[in-house]
A = this chain, B = another copy of it.
Amino acid sequence: MSDAVSPLAILFPALPPVAGVRLAIARARYKDWDRCDLTFVALDEGTVVAGVTTQSKCPSPEVEWCRAALPLGRARALVVNAGNSNAFTGHRGRAAVEAIAARVAQATGCAPSDVFVASTGVIGVPLPIDKAEAGIDAVLRAPEASWQEAARAISTTDTFPKGTAATAIVDGKRIRIVGIIKGSGMIAPDMATMLGFVFTDAAVAPGVLQRALNAANAATFSCITVDSDTSTSDTVLAFATGRAGNAPIEDEDSPGADAFAAALTDVCRRLAHLVVRDGEGASKFIAVTVEGAVSDESARRVGLSIANSPLVKTAIAGEDANWGRVVMAVGKAGEPAERDKLAIRFGATQVAEGGLAVDGYDEAPVAAHLKGQEIEIGVDLGLGEGRATVWTCDLTHGYISINADYRS
C-alpha cells in the first residue's frame, strides 16, 4: 500500500461475515517490506467456484492453474500472494504454484485442485517457494482476519483497501455477497481484470454462478481502464459456500436467480469503480457513456477508445473542455460512426451535435463540471440501439511519477 492516498478514495465499509468463509493473513516477505502479503481464505466443504481470467497470451502460471481447476467447480481454499506476480517465470513459476496447492491440500485435507492461487506484483521473478511455504505454515496458524485486513494484504501499489457488499432475497432467505479487489495500474481488462474475489453464502449451481459472473464481468470489469495495459495475472473468482440455507439456484429460472445475478453485478460494478478510483495518479473519476451504437459491444469499444485516449485523459486532468479530442477518439475507434450524426455532451451540457458544435455553445457549465471529481462524457453515435458505459480516470503527472520515476 502506498502512503499517499488517492483523492478519489472511499472509506472501507463495514462488511458482514459470509458463512463458510474464514480469512487469515501472514507475512511471507515476498518483498523487503514489513506487511502481510499472503492471504488465505478457507472455504467450507461444498463451496462452488466460478472465475474469469485475463486474455493475455502471456498469462501467469497462477492463471493457468485456476483455469484448469475451474471446470471442476469446487473450491476449499484461496491463496493470494502480493509483491510478486510469478508471471513469465517458466517451469520455476509453475513449480511454485504446485507447491502452494500441495501444501494447502495436505494441511486441510482437500485435493490440490480445490486450492485456488493468485499472485500480483513484479513480472519475471519466480515466486520463492521457501517463502511461500513458510508463509502458508504461518497463515494456517494465524487468527481470523477482517475483510479490510485481507483487502490490504492483497494490495500492491493500491493506495486504499477496496471492498463492498450486497444482499439479495433468494428463496425467502437473505443471501450475502462480499467482494474485495486490488488494482491500480496495468488496468485494461479484456475478459477479466486484476485480482478480485467475491464470496457469497448463497447456494448456487456452478454453471449458474459462472454465467452470472460472466455477465457481471462483461458490464463491469471489462468496462474499466486505467492505462490500457492488460495484466498477465488478471483473475476474478467467485465462491459460493451455500450456507445461507436457500434452495439451490439450479438455473436462471430458479426463484431468486435474477436477484442474485443483479446483486452480484452490483458488487462487481462497485469493485470495478474502486479500482478506477485508485487508478495510478488519478484525480478524476470519469464515466463515458456511449449510446446509439450499432451494438452494445461496439458502444463499449468506442467508450474504451475514448477512455484510453491519453489526449482525452490529459484534457480532463487539465479541466480543459477540449471536446475535439473526444471526436478524435470516436474517429479512431475503428467502429461504425458517422461524423455528421455524432453528438457529445459533458455532464448535462450538450456541446456538439450533427457533426459540429451546438449553436451558441457556452463553455461555462462544461468548465464548471470539469472542476468536479466526477466527470461524465456522453456520446450519441445516432446509428442504433447499442449502449455501454465505461469508467476510467484522468492521466496526470502522478501516473508518470509512479511508473517512470522509480522502479515498480
A residues touching B (Cβ–Cβ < 8 Å)? 54-59, 85, 87-93, 122-126, 185-186, 188, 190, 227-232, 308-311, 314-315, 317-318, 320, 322-325, 327-340, 342, 352, 354-357, 394-397, 399-401, 403-408
**Contacts A123-B324, A405-B318 given: A232-B56 contact, CB under 8 Å?**
no
Contacts beyond the supplied A88-B355, A315-B403: 10 A-B pairs with Cβ under 8 Å: A57-B331, A57-B339, A87-B324, A88-B339, A90-B356, A125-B357, A186-B328, A230-B331, A232-B331, A311-B403
Instruction: List B contacts of A407 (CB < 8 A).
Output: 318, 320, 322
Give Cα distance in the complex from A337 to B232, angstroms: 13
Contact partner of A58 (CB less than 8 A), chosen from B58, B92, B188, B342, is: B342
A396 CB to nearest B CB, Å: 6
Contact partner of A88 (CB less than 8 A), chosen from B123, B327, B332, is: B327
Sample 16 A-B pairs with CB under 8 A, ordered by A number: A55-B332, A57-B333, A58-B331, A59-B339, A88-B352, A88-B355, A90-B340, A123-B325, A123-B327, A124-B356, A314-B400, A317-B400, A318-B407, A320-B406, A394-B404, A397-B400
Of chain B, the residue at the smallest CB distance from A397 is: B400
**Contacts A330-B58, A332-B56 given: A324-B395 contact, CB under 8 Å?**
no
B58 with A124: CB separation less than 8 A: no
Instruction: List B contacts of A323 (CB < 8 A).
Output: 124
Instruction: List B contacts of A186 (CB < 8 A).
Output: 311, 328
Instruction: List B contacts of A55 (CB < 8 A).
Output: 332, 334
A329 with B123: CB separation less than 8 A: no
Give Cα distance in the complex from A231 to B329, angstroms: 9
A309 with B404: CB separation less than 8 A: no
B403 with A314: CB separation less than 8 A: yes
A315 CB to nearest B CB, Å: 7
Q: Of A322, A354, A403, which is in contact with the most chain B CB atoms at under 10 Å from its CB?
A: A403
Of chain B, the residue at the smallest CB distance from A91 is: B356
10 nearest A-B pairs in the assembled complex, by CB-CB distance = A123-B324, A58-B331, A90-B356, A56-B331, A230-B332, A314-B403, A318-B404, A314-B404, A57-B337, A317-B404
Instruction: List B contacts of A124 (CB < 8 A).
Output: 323-324, 327, 352, 356-357
**Contacts A87-B324, A122-B324 given: A59-B317 contact, CB under 8 Å?**
no
Give Cα distance in the complex from A270 to B89, angstroms: 39
A88 CB to nearest B CB, Å: 5
A311 with B227: CB separation less than 8 A: yes
Give Cα distance in the complex from A354 to B329, angstroms: 37
A193 CB to nearest B CB, Å: 12
A213 CB to nearest B CB, Å: 22
